[in-house]
Amino acid sequence: MAAARGLSRVVGSVWFKLLIAAVVMGLLFAFNRVNTGALLHLEETWPWLLAAFLLMLPPFAVVSYRFQILLRSQGVEVSFREALRWTMIGSFFDLAMPSSNGGDIIKAGYVIKHVGAGMRTRAVMSVLFDRVLGLLGLFLLASIVVLLGWSVVRDMPARNLLVFCLFGASFGVLLGFRVVGARRFYNLPLMQRLFERGAWGARVRSLIGAFNDLRERPASMAAALGLSLFNHVFWCVSLLCIARAVGNHVDWVHGFVVFPLAIFSNIFGVAGGFGVGTAAFDLFLSQLLGIANGALIGLLFQGLGALSRLAGLPFYLRAARSGQLQALQET
């Protein structure tokens, strides 16, 4: 048991994740999966990279508005300015911490501090919903493009598996939301007995209740999903620009179907996807789009994404300074 806990501690450590990322990146370069020759030509195609970077900035405002809507669905009223501040700080810590979702923890901390202990669960659920609906929007965007561009998609390799995965992760998840959040399911005797099992049962009841508060507000749910779709349009167009910068012309239908899978894989890398996420870019783009330098595209996407997240640093420094001033005033 002690050995298992020790192994779990090592595998979950920051240094282990960084080591894995370094090993993966090293292997990509060693096996020439990163086309260093294409790097030398970037000085000729830098306007495409600049466009890709600029397209990464509007999503911060889009997801901040989505976060404000989700907070409101949980009874937390905040201004767009406050939601933007928390989002930017969370985005910066996605980069500053060796994890692609470490910023969620920081963002949840700010929300909890704002609402107080009595609404802690709802604050955490708002952050969780924001993450889940963001990922759901990726697959939903790809699924919608599959339906709209079926005449193009039907000739893609592994078409059936691709469609199954995309539809399952989008429409299937939406159906699951409908079933799990149903009042009939919520009121089953088995669920009621579960809720009565001490503190953890009450916590489960609170979690499902928070979910139902969102699900039973179709306007809020639709708005959040719509903003997720809009957000990922920017990311996919940014990737089209990066692909163009390294000499690959990808039509938008193929790009909007495959790019969401690559973007999703970034959650398995560190500091925005480096390492495992870069390898996944290489895999998806080579197998589904026939692109030989997918790792380079992933590396550039992650690098520009990391640069864009630095925009959150001033928000954090200002918040830290305000906190210090408030502490001095209280003493």
Q: Is 182's pLDDT higher than 90?
A: no
The domain spans of the chain are 17-25+40-308
**CA nearest 123: which of 80, 82, 75?**
75
Please say if the pLDDT value at position 327 is more than 50.
no
Task: Tell me the average pLDDT of the chain.
Answer: 82
Q: What's the average model confidence in pLDDT over 130-155?
A: 91
- pLDDT tens digits along 46-91: 999 999 999 999 999 999 999 999 998 888 889 999 999 999 999 8
Whole-Å CA distances, 126 to 25, 108, 118, 247, 273 = 34, 8, 15, 41, 24
Instruction: Give per-residue pLDDT as tens, 16-40.
Output: 677 777 787 787 777 777 777 777 7
H helical segments located in the chain: 2-11, 14-30, 36-40, 46-55, 58-73, 80-96, 102-115, 120-148, 150-153, 159-180, 183-186, 189-195, 198-215, 218-245, 252-265, 276-289, 294-309, 313-330
Token pair 């969780």: residue: 128
Question: Is 115:107 a contact under the CB 8 Å cutoff?
Answer: no
Lowest mean pLDDT among 73-77, 99-103, 170-174: 99-103
